[in-house]
Amino acid sequence: MDNLITLWQSSGVAQMASGQLIMILVGLGLLFLAIRKNFEPLLLVPIGFGGILANIPGADLALSAAEAALVQGDTAIWAQMAQILGLESNSGLPALKEALASAPAAVQVQVAEFARDAGFSNGMLYNFYSVAIASGVAPLVIFMGVGAMTDFGPLLANPRTLFLGAAAQFGIFATVLGAVGLSVAGIMDFSIADAAAIGIIGGADGPTAIYVSSLLAPDLLGAIAVAAYSYMALVPMIQPPIMRALTTEQERKIEMVQLRHVSKREKIAFPLLLLILVALCLPAAAPLLGMFCFGNLMRECGVVSRLSDTAQNALINITTIFLGLSVGSKLAADKFLDPKTLGILALGIVAFAIGTATGVLMAKLINVFSKHKINPLIGSAGVSAVPMAARVSNKVGLESNPHNFLLMHAMGPNVAGVIGSAVAAGVMISMVRSLTGG
């Protein structure tokens, strides 16, 4: 009988907390959206599955060795960990968790070594997170793959669209101000680093959002990533009402002239010039923009087709799997079920809306001073949801004029948005580091 009781107590069902059950249902919901509704399936499938794994009671797949020691250890283990952390030996579990989270890196290493010596180990998802995201590798590799799939031709053929991509990034900075405002009003408790990480959602660029949040607000990474990719999937629903509200029927019917041919020499020179100019002015943007430009150079130079093909296909697909599972590890109940998550989701959709609106308004402003008119609908593609935002611009344009094909024109601001989000990320990282002294 005692053996049966022990077996029951060690089962996941007996250890299940209400928060874990809720998060397992959230994971199943993400899988439903990805599989049934086709919402960003390449990311939401591994994120949703990782979220389920992270919340299986007793498995502790998303915990480090030190965290596992706190969850599974006895009072003797806790007493020794408290001594290393500089606490009283009878300190409670909440005090130990707080001290571990705020401890200097050297102390955390000592605690981790003690936990491993005591027989505890890192969970599978924690190892994935450490290698893929904490190191910064996975978002950068994905940016390289995106660069290898990107054609700068539409942007180079119509350089004015660079302003549309830049204007759409206003959603990022407006959201940062919104997050700070919520904190000042006492509604939420976001630090300046949290606000900067949340604001990047407005760039509609998942890898950039993950990269920035991993540096500035790792505890919010799960909510930020889910918000970023969910809203990217909802672009066809979020953007059209805003686009129609800010444009007239006549503006939506504007037909744009054929794009000029862009030479191979221009396409090779552009990523090199872009990297050098931006990195010299904003070194914090160099990692993201550097990998993006490197991927594009491999595509355009024509002498490393095997490397370009690998970056576009096998490498980015493998990285996406581990990136998604790593993000899923941050969907643990104790990290995700927090009032801040609702604030992040609300600010995220506001960021998307503002970015869409400012892109459209910038196109209308350019038309005031331009002889060759731009269809304002392509301004909405300045958010860097590539190529979905460009397709939405084309679809809304066709509704007003069946002969108006805007897809290639919209790819200009769409690509500019990718550049803009990387630059905005660099600005945020530099700003936070200067303010916090980090």
Query: What pLDDT is recorded for position 382?
Result: 92
Query: What pLDDT is recorded for position 9?
Result: 65
pTM: 0.90
- Which residues of the chain are modeled with pLDDT < 70? 1-2, 5-12, 14, 438
- 216-263 pLDDT tens trace: 999 899 999 988 888 888 888 899 999 999 999 999 999 988 888 999
Other CB atoms closer than 10 Å to residue 26's CB: what's the count?
Answer: 19
Amino acid making up residue 384: S
Q: What is the largest CA-CA distance in the chain?
A: 87
Query: What pLDDT is recorded for position 102?
Result: 85
The DSSP code sequence of 72-99 is: H--HHHHHHHHHHHT--TT--HHHHHHH
Q: CA–CA distance from 354 to each of 168, 380, 409 (Å)?
A: 8, 10, 21
Structure tokens at 17: 């907390």
